[in-house]
A and B are shown apart, each in its own frame.
Chain A
């Protein structure tokens, strides 16, 4: 049995699919376990959300009320963070939120794979967010969007402050992606480490075998905590997207 806690994060081609699907500029593209999980997440979440609202009853079924609740949750979040005109980004933020949430939750299923524990995935998502912010800013304000990087200060300080603001802006995709990735990675590593304790104690024999119940109980507690973290991180990702979009939409208005 493999007790390496990092083993679960290995991206590898699916069994029987170890030949590359195609090549892009000489790089072989495989259908990996990560790709499979993403396909499952996208398929399940879009199927659920479309089928759940199909009955469209006044008194909702359980599924419909779940779909409606997630809709209202995200709509309320966007409204409180960006105001009325932010709501046109609802599809974008809702898709991001549901994708990250489902990836986190599907990763909690034992034996599956946590897509969001890969920095490549989270950084790609965060890059989309920042691209969206930049495009929105330039579309709304034109060249005036660059005022975002010019705080109110005398000109001699601006020489110093503008690069700082620029760097601070470009930290966003990194802090956004690292936060999600590190939380998922840490949680799942912790679960695997405690799982390793259970096996190691259980096979030790004698009194120690009986003791293996302790880490097992801890795993249950950590699992609950991880469910909370899975939701919370998806939420944080979405709310920060809203906050960044708000800045692009309204520049410095809020001061």
Chain B
């Protein structure tokens, strides 16, 4: 059914021939047409597979855990430092009590973050494995 782009310019004979070819000789086969739907579905699932998430590499997982942990420590310590500063502003000298407490809370939050990230990654890997087993 692919018509070479130049046929129109090669005179009426070719045009008639191509029309004949298209309408009579290569008229859509009903079986093929119903098959087309199936093939389209197949292509679509394949496309969906291809646009699925790229697999998390070992180093990216490690990097993710590291940032989660360190960021929580920074936020915790920073919050404590800020509270100390605020109290200091009003004449209560709590430094460094809040910073120490919040640093520890930050460490706990960091571990919580890492556990959450690990859960997410596990779910992702499990999902991928089940996809592979069903062979979609």
> Contact between A164 and B51 (Cβ–Cβ < 8 Å)?
no
* A77: B residues at CB distance < 8 A: 53
Interface string of A175-191 (1 = CB under 8 A from B): 10011001100000000
Q: Is the interface of A mostly helix, strand, loop or mixed?
A: helix
Closest to B67 in A: A175
* A236: B residues at CB distance < 8 A: 60
A69-B51, A235-B53 are known contacts. Are A178 and B71 too (CB-CB below 8 A)? yes
Interchain CB contact (< 8 A) of A171 among B53, B54, B72:
B72
Q: Is the interface of B mostly helix, strand, loop or mixed?
A: helix
> Contact between B105 and A164 (Cβ–Cβ < 8 Å)?
yes
* B106: A residues at CB distance < 8 A: 167
> Contact between A232 and B60 (Cβ–Cβ < 8 Å)?
yes
Interface string of A218-255 (1 = CB under 8 A from B): 00000000000001100110010001000000000000
A175-B71, A235-B54, A239-B53 are known contacts. Are A168 and B112 too (CB-CB below 8 A)? yes
B108-136 CB contacts (< 8 Å) to partner A: 108-110, 112-113, 116, 120
Instruction: Give the A-B contact count at a CB cut-off of 8 A.
Output: 67
Interchain CB contact (< 8 A) of A179 among B51, B54, B63, B79:
B63
A163 within 8 A of B: yes
> Contact between A174 and B108 (Cβ–Cβ < 8 Å)?
no
Nearest Cβ in chain A — how far from B25, in angstroms?
23
A76 within 8 A of B: yes
Closest to A236 in B: B60
Size band of the B side of the interface?
Answer: 20 to 34
State A80–B95 Cα separation when bound (angstroms): 47
> Contact between B120 and A167 (Cβ–Cβ < 8 Å)?
no
State A69–B48 Cα separation when bound (angstroms): 10
Closest to A76 in B: B51
> Contact between B51 and A167 (Cβ–Cβ < 8 Å)?
no
State A63–B57 Cα separation when bound (angstroms): 30
> Contact between A171 and B68 (Cβ–Cβ < 8 Å)?
yes
A76-B51, A163-B105, A167-B106 are known contacts. Are A174 and B60 too (CB-CB below 8 A)? no
The 6 closest A-B pairs by CB, nearest first: A167-B109, A174-B71, A168-B109, A175-B71, A171-B71, A175-B67
Seed contacts A165-B109, A167-B109, A171-B75; 11 additional CB < 8 Å A-B pairs: A167-B76, A168-B110, A170-B79, A171-B109, A174-B74, A175-B64, A175-B68, A178-B71, A179-B64, A183-B63, A232-B60
A-B contact pairs, 28 of them (CB 8 A): A76-B48, A76-B51, A164-B105, A164-B109, A165-B109, A167-B105, A167-B106, A167-B109, A168-B110, A168-B113, A170-B75, A171-B110, A171-B113, A174-B67, A174-B71, A174-B74, A175-B68, A175-B71, A178-B67, A178-B71, A179-B63, A179-B67, A182-B63, A183-B63, A231-B54, A235-B53, A239-B53, A243-B120
